[in-house]
Structure 1
Amino acid sequence: MPLIESTVSVLLLWAVIGYLIGSVPFGVVIARVMGLGNLREIGSGNIGATNVLRTGSKPAAIATLLLDGAKGAVALLLARAFSGEDAAQIAALAAMLGHCYPVWLKFKGGKGVATFLGILLALAWPAGIGACIAWLVAAGLSRMSSMGGLFAAAMSSVLVVLTGFGTTYLLALALTLIVFWRHRENIARIRAGTEPKIGQKG
């Protein structure tokens, strides 16, 4: 049972907390700590795991993937434990926005796929597992991380309903729309046949 019931002020507090957790740019931090250079000047300049992989360091990319996913899950789980499900969903959405639009990087953040998957795993774990499988299948077949993310996001709203978590549908849909918006340039490149493959530098 949550320790503090969800009121408007509590929900706003969790929105701020979720945003701050989500806005930690782990890719930039890890690249700098591991001496890989300024991530904003490498590859696409994105702060996510796919661009970290372009530095040539798989451990750094894996660490970024896990931490970006974890921050979405942590924001949701903390809010759920202390203030209930409404607060959890608000914190999760705020964490996603924090990752995509971090104040520390002039609101120029990542594409949100890892954070989205972390949130979904904590929100409705069967749907989260299904989305991860969807990512693996689509990314594996296309060799494009963006294709995996888009397919996983597109499937998420269906998966939450099919797995009995229909009350999370609106959040899943909102996260999907954010992922697609953040990938609008990738979508254009996919259509043009110029989207980089996984691990491709530059």
Structure 2
Amino acid sequence: MMPLAWALLGYLLGSIPFGLVIARALGLGDLRKIGSGNIGATNVLRTGNRPAALATLLLDSGKGAIAVLLARQFGGETAAILAGGAAFLGHCFPVWLGFRGGKGVATFLGTLIALHWPLGLAACATWALMAASLRISSLSALTAAALAPILAWTFGRSDLILVCLSMAALIFLRHRANIARLRAGTEPRIGRKG
């Protein structure tokens, strides 16, 4: 398949709104009307259902990883990078939800793990350390995103710097309201119900 076809497949995989599907299937309501209104794992956690939040986290990260691994297997490394970036875009701008999706953090991390596992694990560790110490999901995500391009360079993967920069920029853009709350000291902590 041509690289653009892999990008399309990545986008379509990324567009699957697992958080919304899981919340509806379990009778938790419409995530877009709960808490932050986001469709990701952090907002699913605000329903109080931890297994649902974990499932959302795994599936949202998994769709980015699967897109990368399929594209790499059949299309090579350039196709893998395109598919991973497109899966991330699909999560943020899903065609099924009028292009109004999530903030992309889980898909970002899953994509990085599949592109270069040391880089992905380092980004996950950054998120986890920040989350464990401060219990603020958005700050953890922003820190991991900001460090990802530097980590890519550190691990000798200069071919991933651009995609890391692009995803990080979009993560910051989609966290504008969170950044404002962080500055005001009103950002909610992990696990607080919506």
The TM-score by the shorter chain falls in which range? over 0.9
Partners in 2 of 1:186 and 1:145 — Cα distance?
10
Of 33, 36, 44, the residue aligned with 1:44 is 36
Counterpart in the other structure of 1:34: 26
Counterpart in the other structure of 1:168: 160
Counterpart in the other structure of 2:137: 145
Task: List alignment gaps of at least 5 residues for structure 2.
Answer: none
TM-score by length of 2: 0.97
Partners in 1 of 2:6 and 2:52 — Cα distance?
30
Partners in 1 of 2:69 and 2:169 — Cα distance?
22
Amino acid at match of 2:23: A
Partners in 2 of 1:195 and 1:169 — Cα distance?
30
Partners in 2 of 1:109 and 1:40 — Cα distance?
10
Partners in 2 of 1:86 and 1:66 — Cα distance?
25
Counterpart in the other structure of 1:156: 148
Of 123, 126, 133, the residue aligned with 1:131 is 123
Is 2:87 the partner of 1:95? yes
TM-score by length of 1: 0.93
Task: List alignment gaps of at least 5 residues for structure 1.
Answer: 5-9
Of 179, 183, 195, the residue aligned with 2:187 is 195
Shift of 1:20: 0.3
Q: How many percent of aligned residue pairs carry the same amino acid?
A: 61
Partners in 1 of 2:40 and 2:17 — Cα distance?
8
Aligned length: 194
Amino acid at match of 1:12: L
Counterpart in the other structure of 1:118: 110
Partners in 2 of 1:193 and 1:106 — Cα distance?
32
| CA deviation profile, 1:45-98 (whole Å, cap 9, x unmatched) | 110000000111000000000000000001111111111111111111110010
Shift of 1:164: 2.1
Partners in 2 of 1:12 and 1:128 — Cα distance?
24
Amino acid at match of 1:83: G
Partners in 1 of 2:193 and 2:51 — Cα distance?
16
The root-mean-square deviation of aligned C-alpha atoms, in Å, is 1.0
Amino acid at match of 1:119: T
Counterpart in the other structure of 1:104: 96
Partners in 2 of 1:104 and 1:162 — Cα distance?
37
Which stretches of structure 1, 4 residues or longer, exceed 4 Å deviation after superposition?
Answer: none
